[in-house]
Amino acid sequence: MGRKFFIKTFGCQMNFNDSERIRGILRTLGYEPARSWEEADLILINTCTIREKPDQKVLSHLGEYRKIKEKNPKALIAVAGCLAQRMGWELVKKAPVIDIMFSSFNMHQLPELINQAQAGYKAIAILEEPPEDEDKVWEFPTERDNPYCAYVTIIKGCDKRCTYCVVPKTRGRERSRSMESILEEVRRLVDEGVREIHLLGQNVTAWGRDLEKPVPFSELLYEISKVDGVERIRFTTGHPKDLTDDIIDAMADIPQVCNALHLPVQSGSDRILSLMDRGYTKEFYLERVEKLKEKVKGIALSTDIIVGFPTETEEDFEETLDVVRKVRYEQIFSFKFSPRPGTPAAEMEGQVPDEVKTERMTRLLELQKGIMSEIAKTYEGTVQEVLVEEARDEGTLVGRTTTNRWVTLEGDRSLLGKIVKVKVKKASPFNLDAELLEVVR
């Protein structure tokens, strides 16, 4: 019987895309997916360490998965991702069941690491720096669950130094993937039936600057839009400071670029933004948003907000609420500040008590709830283009608008992967109920 793998992924879309690549690597080694971790010969946890909570989740999963060895002593436990990178051997000491561990920049070494672990050695390959042959990883396929929408990582690492963030430590400096390598993957995905390409990076808007011959990100958008069969393009995450006019113009100009952008603001207070070292002011951010709204008609914005950053006062927090009121985001991801070991913000004076963080978070969510239901209402009666992604129960289809809203409609499986026009009958904050008008393409 063939060997089986089970992967548990925490964290961001980058981590999910890395897991898709790891699945591809394991497939080339002859592994098959297991239905549950209890059946696996290789359990891999792809970890996140952005806040304390994901750290704890990883440790509790390790505690559970270790039981696999009682049933199947030859089973291997592997840990990848950002917590592995941050803790290294310290994590192995805490959880000696770990057989394999690697960085996000040496996934391509997984085949050798599995060999080492099977020979009875601990295969720990946490590197300080990305290796020379890092790009080898692109030679492996990805295995995805969604046949129509695919992530494509275009830049790894981050050169920004936001004082709260561990990512520059866990993912290294910025390394842009070459245009040819990206286009090659896009072409391959389209051949496989993919219609929506979602470009990924900690800082996609910085793509191309570090290439031997620098290329602006907007040019990449144009080149991808020229690939026959690409119907939609999304990208995450952009940094407000790098959102240059040429990118906004390209978003307005290229029909395939979706009407949605995730633009993390983090805080509305200039004092806090400066302590965070974000490199922009509230005014600058709002000016970028104005420009986006003016050029890209009907754009849906979403954001990340941290509440309770060290020294945040009531007035600072009010500034954040003010941004939320002015921008009117379609979605907000909000987080209580979580001190991460080794980051400057963790050492700052004036840490905010948890009750205050909770209270501010509640007020932020309350404000956003109102805005979200008001925005949802504006969808009622409108006609939207939807990419049909999934068939749920008998006769129910699910897809997304270009503004990234989930839509439910009636129809049969022959519509899967098609772009259809629908009329929205009923709208709630997280779902639009719609009726099929016609198949566009």
List residues near ligand 5AD by CB under 6 A.
50-51, 164-165, 264, 266, 304, 306, 335, 337-338, 340
Q: How would you classify residue 282: left for phi > 0, otherwise alpha for psi between -120 and 50, otherwise beta? A: alpha
CB-nearer residue toward ligand 5AD: 216 or 344: 344
Cβ 83 to ligand SF4 shortest distance, Å: 8
Report the distance separating Cα 91 and Cα 55, nearest Å: 11
Q: Which residues contact 268 (CB under 8 A, 6 or more apart)?
A: 282, 316, 319, 320, 321, 322, 323, 324
- What are the two backbone dihedrals, phi and then psi, of residue 420, each rounded to the nearest 5 degrees? -125, 155
Q: Which residue is nearest to ligand SF4 (CB)?
A: 11
Residue nearest ligand 5AD by beta-carbon distance: 304
d(CA 373, CA 357): 24
Residue 156 vs 195, nearer CB to ligand 5AD:
156
Interface residues with ligand SF4 (CB under 6 A)? 11-12, 14-15, 48-50, 81-82, 166-167, 170-171
Query: In which residue are the tokens 């603001």 written?
Result: 265
Closest to 50 (Cα-Cα) out of 18, 99, 14: 14
Residue 171, binding choice from ligand SF4, ligand 5AD, none, Cβ under 5 to 8 Å by partner class: ligand SF4
For residue 11, the partner it binds in ligand SF4, ligand 5AD, none, with Cβ less than 5 to 8 A by kind, is ligand SF4
Best CA proximity match to 100, nearest among 52, 47, 36, 142: 47
Binder of residue 206, out of ligand 5AD, ligand SF4, none (CB less than 5 to 8 A by kind) = none
Shortest distance in whole angstroms from residue 52 CB to ligand 5AD: 8
Closest CB to ligand SF4 among 344 and 429? 344
> Rg of the chain's alpha carbons, rounded to an integer?
22
Residue 264 touches which of ligand 5AD, ligand SF4, none (Cβ within 5-8 Å per kind): ligand 5AD
Structure letter (DSSP) for residue 257? B
Angle at 394 between CA 388 and CA 399, to 5 degrees: 15
Q: For Cα atoms 30, 34, 37, give the angle at the middle one, nearest 5 degrees.
A: 125
To the nearest whole angstrom, how small is the minimum distance from the Cβ of residue 19 to ligand 5AD? 17
Q: Which is nearer to ligand 5AD, 164 or 379 (CB)?
A: 164
Task: Decide which of ligand SF4, ligand 5AD, none touches 16; Cβ closer than 5 to 8 Å per partner kind.
Answer: none
In the complex, the smallest distance separating the C-beta of residue 61 from ligand SF4, rounded to whole angstroms, is 15
Looking at the Cβ atoms of 166 and 292, the one nearer to ligand SF4 is: 166
